[in-house]
Amino acid sequence: MPGVVVDGVSKHFGGVRAVDSVSLSVADGRLLTLLGPSGCGKTTTLRMIAGLEQNDAGRIMIGDRVVSDPAAGISLAPERREIGMVFQSYAIWPHMTVFANVAYPLEVRGMKRSAVFDRVGEVLRLMQMEHLAGRPATLLSGGQQQRVAIARALVFQPRVLLMDEPLSNLDAQLREQMRLEIRALQQRLGITTVYVTHDQEEAMVLSDEIAVMHEGRVLQRADPQTIYARPATRTVAAFFGSPNLFPAKVREVQRDAGSTFARVDGDSWDGWCAGPSDIQVGDAVTVVVRPEVIRLNAEPRHPGIVWSGVVRQRTFHGARNVYTVEVGSLRVTVDAPPDQTSAIGNEVTLSVDAAHAWTVRG
């Protein structure tokens, strides 16, 4: 059963359409990330689910209950939507202790004091913060404040957890640690979660599914591996890392056992790559090749693409060497392991198997 359904939802701010007929659903107990650059509509979508913004059109459901449908005159207040929310700023009350911050949602709901004490203690143990219950909020680190914000969102046992860029104020090392903690917590509780971020790596680590948004629309929704390796559009491909994007034209198509492969011609090169099932001969395409799948001075193990070029730049990144190779008018980025080395100015051969090169239209 879906935990959250967003059906044809739109939102305007004056003459600007911030969200444009977005439809998506989150299965009960799953984590969906809304991913995209600033201004793409992801936070507005989250706020409409929460009831902090009113959608102009479309319908929003949480569980089997419609919580917003302007055409039917339905708009439930945030406190009636059974959602917990974690904001980018944490919104921790500085004049309260950890215990008081977490207890607040229960107290405003009129829960008995003894039940509040038990429930807050349970959630603080879950967040490994029981020993900090009496500490003033002003004496907490950034990571501790984030844990308090999550505990406060979970304490009244919401049906859905909404998280808006909750790690953006943390340093890189703590951010990486908290990604793993949030994912483990979500899976342990089995709580339906919608998460907003602009960080691609964060989305891949956390998510069951990712919805990539651009200019108010969802461009692709899929599991992280599919989004990364099989992007639906050039825009989706370019948003993840720094892929090589080669313009080409389809000259031949082979379909076999559910897989589609195309022979393409580029600028002074040709070869085979994988593609979507509806690709056709004559299509203008972009071939997406991730830097880490290109092999330096090696033939492809299977049919694929081979380029010849000259190394123009090499940078050392510890566990890998990153090369810039000039191939005709193209600049190709190669992310190579330490044992694949070449000096600047060397002529090199680059290769990629067809299964690791992906075509998108345009």
DSSP 175-242: HHHHHHHHHHHHHHHT-EEEEEES-HHHHHHH-SEEEEEETTEEEEEE-HHHHHHS-SSHHHHHHSS-
Q: Are residues 193 and 247 in the same domain?
A: no
pLDDT(339) > 90: no
Q: Are residues 186 and 266 in the same domain?
A: no
Task: Quickly state the pLDDT bin for 92 (edges 50, 70, 90).
Answer: confident
Paired residues of 26 in beta bridges = 4
Query: What's the pTM?
Result: 0.92
Please report, for the domain that includes residue 28, its CATH number.
Answer: 3.40.50.300
In the chain, the number of structural domains is: 2
Query: In the prediction, which pLDDT does 168 show?
Result: 87
Query: In the prediction, which pLDDT does 317 show?
Result: 87
Do 45 and 34 touch, CB atoms closer than 8 A?
yes
Q: Which residues are CB-contacts of 187 (< 8 A; sequence separation ≥ 6)?
A: none
pLDDT(2) > 80: no
Mean pLDDT of 57-65: 96
Q: Are residues 170 and 299 in the same domain?
A: no
Task: Name the packing angle between helices 113-126 and 142-154 (round to 10°).
Answer: 130
Q: Are residues 106 and 208 in the same domain?
A: yes
Structural domain for 176, as ranges: 2-234
Q: Nearest Cα to 181, choosing from 149, 227, 213, 223?
A: 149
Q: Is 281 exposed, middle or buried (0-12, 13-18, 19+ CB in 10 A)?
A: exposed
Task: Quickly state the pLDDT bin for 254 (edges 50, 70, 90).
Answer: very high
pLDDT(185) > 70: yes
Q: Are residues 286 and 324 in the same domain?
A: yes
Q: Are residues 247 and 198 in the same domain?
A: no
Q: Are residues 309 and 217 in the same domain?
A: no
Please report, for the domain that includes residue 350, its CATH number.
Answer: 2.40.50.140
Residue where one domain finishes, among candidates 216, 234, 252: 234
Helix (H, G, I), strand (E, B) or coil at 102: helix
Mean pLDDT of 18-45: 96
Q: Are residues 50 and 164 in the same domain?
A: yes
Q: Are residues 181 and 264 in the same domain?
A: no
Task: Name the packing angle between helices 142-154 and 172-189 (round to 10°).
Answer: 20
Residue where one domain finishes, among candidates 234, 268, 292: 234
Q: Are residues 250 and 294 in the same domain?
A: yes
Q: Are residues 261 and 166 in the same domain?
A: no
Query: In the prediction, which pLDDT does 1 show?
Result: 65
Give the span between the Cα atoms of 253 and 237, in whole angstroms. 22
Query: In the prediction, which pLDDT does 319 show?
Result: 87
Give 256-315 pLDDT, tens digit per residue.
Answer: 888 999 999 998 899 999 999 999 999 999 999 999 999 998 877 778 999 999 999 999
Q: Is 242 exposed, middle or buried (0-12, 13-18, 19+ CB in 10 A)?
A: exposed
Q: Are residues 145 and 8 in the same domain?
A: yes
- Dihedral angle sign, alpha carbons of residues 308, 313, 317, 319: positive
Give 171-181 pLDDT, tens digit per residue.
Answer: 888 889 999 99
Residues above pLDDT 90, as percent of the chain: 79
Count of C-beta atoms within a 10 Å radius of residue 118: 11
Residue where one domain finishes, among candidates 172, 205, 234: 234
Cα 203 to Cα 106, 153, 161, distances in angstroms: 31, 21, 16
Residue type, 278: D
Mean pLDDT of 221-245: 93
